[in-house]
Amino acid sequence: MSDITKLSLNELIQNIRNKKLSSTEITNSFIERSEKSKKLNTYVTDNFSSALEAAKIFDEKPNMDLKLPGIPIAVKDLFCTNGVRTTAGSNILNNFIPPYESTVTQSMWDEGAILLGKLNCDEFAMGSSNETSFFGNVQNPIGENLVPGGSSGGSSAALAANLTPVTIGTDTGGSIRQPASFTGTVGLKPTYGSCSRYGIVAFASSLDQAGPMSQNVKDAALLLEVISKFDNKDSTSIVFKRNKYSSELTNNIKGLKIGIPNEYRVEGMPKEIEDLWKKGIEIIKDCGAEIVDISLPTTKYALPTYYIVAPAEASSNLARYDGVKYGFRSEGENLIDMYEKTRSEGFGEEVKRRILIGTYVLSSGYYDAYYLKAQKVRQLIKKDFDNVYNNVDAILTPSTPSSAFKIGEKTDDPVSMYLNDIFTVPVNLAGLPGISIPAGIDNKGFPLGLQIIGKPFDEQTILNIAYSMEEKINFKNNITDWWM
Amino acid sequence: MTIDLKTVKHISKLARISTDEKKANKLANDLNSIFKFIEALNELDTEKVEPLTSVADTKLRLREDKFEANNIRDKILKNSPDENKDYFVVPKVVE
């Protein structure tokens, strides 16, 4: 088979199960292609030789009952992997080797998957273009010098370039869905509490969720089925009846009501995105679902709320990086001096900016005006969604207000960078599931995504809607291997 | 409101991040543009709204107080930045 790396996850599994391909052959193919794709800068740390050993062991005694039998998978470098360096894209964790495994990755290995390597991301997942990584920019395989989105930019690029059959990212304000949209791939952020946060380097604990990124909706459903589990080790993990997302996947969405929120028609949105959205609405109607106009009046307050809540939580979470027990240390004259130098040299500019915003909004005299205010507005944002979900089953919006932009285009203006997440952030604040699917291209030929937002714990419905739309959209990524 | 140089230096101190003059100026500019954007929240009357602290409607679970970790003491110590055998090393704290 010549194009093993182009096969979807489900196709690879089928080939392994009927013994047309071995895990070793598959793993080798992805390694070879990854070796030839260094220019994309997707890997921070590879695990190639261990992966080959694991593949060999799998092939000697293959267990075909597993859900991911012998499938090599690279993951975002925000998941702690036992014995394999985990950096979170930061200098401060440059030499950190976790002595334990994140629950989400462990679930994948338990189902037969093999760690291929750790993928680049924005530093501590703070960014929308993968430009804040200590390990450098990632190239979007769609075109040279384009950002792959962020923060799961190494993941989206590696997936779109066929360097891994699927991957997992994390999403705090859009970090799975926005890079998926920028690379013509599928990305799902599950309901808060679905996938364990244990062993994921923390950014903003009340918002962070891990989720699948894939070439198609069926692959996302299968990977979600593997990683969505109750976990005692995460105090915010929730017990609820999880579907068998892949076997229950259906393209019958007749009679569902899909909301179109008026407030997502933001000022200055390119016409092609408006058109893409209209196309999505027509497709939904074609599938036999009903379109309902809805209103989410607090939409425009979501980003300002996010830029209080997320930095506040980050400033607290990142207080642990002090140069004492692990990570980078800079020598100082005394203990305080050592802390200050370590954190100044160990963190990049965007991370420091957010720590300072967070420190400020939590500091004495400002807490009520900023942090408490933001938590109250967050309540209103959630109530908006609660209200509309009395009348609709899901919501359709664009994923992003633009397609992939040039490397360096937005690095000087933090606010313009933050606006990338305008359609994805409300979903995190309300704790809802959301999926981005590729839906078309703009006049530059770059992919554009549509987002489907669901009710809490109703991943199955958004997967079904995405699956039905995917069939009718029939999107094909146009990737030329220009980097080889 | 505006964030001045003095405030930037104060919060840098609180956050234990050393900041030189040039960087502090740039940070003050960045923070001001971000806070200008954040101030849109003041348009909303939230007097009677309860703050939302978590979207996960769960109570903290109690568990038995028992030892579960494998013996990973050495692996943990290995990650510490200074050479040591049995403990973490920091600069002298008490004279």
Residue type (1 letter), A346:
G
Instruction: Look up A363 and say whether it is catalytic.
Output: no
- Whether residue A325 lies inside any domain: the answer is no
Q: CA A157: distance to chain centroid?
A: 12
Predicted local confidence at residue A2, as pLDDT: 59
Q: Which residue of B has its CA nearest to A300?
A: B40
Burial of A339 (0-12, 13-18, 19+ CB in 10 A): buried
Predicted local confidence at residue A423, as pLDDT: 96
The answer to whether the CB atoms of A356 and B38 lie below 8 A apart is: no
Name which residue leads in pLDDT, A219 or B20: A219
B-chain CB neighbours of A340 within 8 Å are 16-18
For residue B1, pLDDT beyond 70 = no
Cβ contact A428:A189 at 8 Å: yes
- Whether residue A291 lies inside any domain: the answer is no
CB neighbours of residue B72 within 10 Å:
13
B-chain CB neighbours of A303 within 8 Å are 37
CB neighbours of residue A129 within 10 Å:
30
Task: For chain A, positions 164-203, list CB contacts with chain B under 8 A.
Answer: 192-193
Determine the Cα–Cα distance for residues A436 and A286; give it in Å rounded to an integer.
Answer: 19
- Whether residue A218 lies inside any domain: the answer is yes
DSSP 8-state code for residue A84: B
**The token pair that represents A213 in the structure block:** 């990124």
CA distances from A312 to A193, B30, B56 (A): 20, 17, 18
The answer to whether the CB atoms of A303 and B37 lie below 8 A apart is: yes
Q: Provide ipTM, 2 decimals.
A: 0.94
Predicted local confidence at residue A142, as pLDDT: 97
The answer to whether the CB atoms of A376 and B3 lie below 8 A apart is: no
How many domains in chain A?
A: 1
Q: What is the CA radius of gyration of chain B?
A: 23
Task: For chain A, positions 78-117, list CB contacts with chain B under 8 A.
Answer: 95-97, 99-100
CA distances from A347 to A97, A175, A332, A473 (A): 18, 20, 16, 42
- Exactly one of A29, A34, A37, A76 is catalytic; which is it? A76
Predicted local confidence at residue A302, as pLDDT: 97
Instruction: Look up A278 and say whether it is catalytic.
Output: no
- Exactly one of A128, A151, A399, A402 is catalytic; which is it? A151
Predicted local confidence at residue A317, as pLDDT: 98
Q: Going from the first residue of chain A to its last (484 residues), give the mean pLDDT of each consecutive group of 10, the final group possibly shorter.
A: 88 98 98 98 98 98 98 98 98 96 98 98 97 98 97 98 98 98 98 98 97 98 98 94 97 97 90 95 97 97 97 98 94 93 97 97 93 97 98 98 94 85 97 98 96 98 98 94 96
Nearest residue to A128 via CA among A171, A162, A88: A171
**The token pair that represents B53 in the structure block:** 């602290």
- Whether residue A406 lies inside any domain: the answer is no
Task: For chain A, positions 449-468, list CB contacts with chain B under 8 A.
Answer: none
Predicted local confidence at residue A1, as pLDDT: 52
CATH topology of domain B5-43: Histone, subunit A (1.10.20)
Report how many helices (DSSP H) and strands (DSSP E) chain A contains, helices first: 15, 11
Cβ contact A387:A296 at 8 Å: no
Domain that holds residue A66: 4-257
The answer to whether the CB atoms of A238 and B33 lie below 8 A apart is: no
Determine the Cα–Cα distance for residues A409 and B40; give it in Å rounded to an integer.
Answer: 26
Determine the Cα–Cα distance for residues A149 and A435; give it in Å rounded to an integer.
Answer: 15
Task: Give B39's contacts (C-beta < 8 A, 6+ positions apart).
Answer: A304, B1
Q: Which residue of A has its CA nearest to B3?
A: A360
A-chain CB neighbours of B58 within 8 Å are 193, 235-236, 238
Cβ contact A288:A250 at 8 Å: no
Name which residue leads in pLDDT, B63 or B26: B26
Predicted local confidence at residue B72, as pLDDT: 86
Cβ contact A457:A195 at 8 Å: no
Confidence of residue B69 (pLDDT cuts 50, 70, 90): confident
Min Cα separation B6/chain A (Å): 13
Task: For chain B, positions 2-61, list CB contacts with chain A under 8 A.
Answer: 3, 7-8, 11-12, 14-19, 27, 30-31, 33-34, 37-44, 46, 49-58, 60-61
Q: Read off the CATH number of the domain in which A150 is found.
A: 3.90.1300.10
Min Cα separation B77/chain A (Å): 7
The answer to whether the CB atoms of B79 and A415 lie below 8 A apart is: no
- Whether residue A38 lies inside any domain: the answer is yes
- Whether residue A217 lies inside any domain: the answer is yes
Domain segments of chain B as ranges: 5-43
- Please report where in the chains the tokens 């978590």 appear, as a residue: B54
- Whether residue A137 lies inside any domain: the answer is yes
Determine the Cα–Cα distance for residues A211 and A167; give it in Å rounded to an integer.
Answer: 9
Is cis: bond before A363, omega within 30 of 0? no
Min Cα separation A346/chain B (Å): 10
Instruction: Look up A39 and say whether it is catalytic.
Output: no
Confidence of residue B60 (pLDDT cuts 50, 70, 90): confident
- Whether residue A18 lies inside any domain: the answer is yes
The answer to whether the CB atoms of A378 and B51 lie below 8 A apart is: yes
Cβ contact A475:A279 at 8 Å: no
Task: Please tell me the pTM assigned to this model.
Answer: 0.97
CB neighbours of residue A60 within 10 Å:
9
Determine the Cα–Cα distance for residues A305 and B34; give it in Å rounded to an integer.
Answer: 12
A-chain CB neighbours of B55 within 8 Å are 192-193, 206, 382, 429-431
Cβ contact A146:A140 at 8 Å: yes
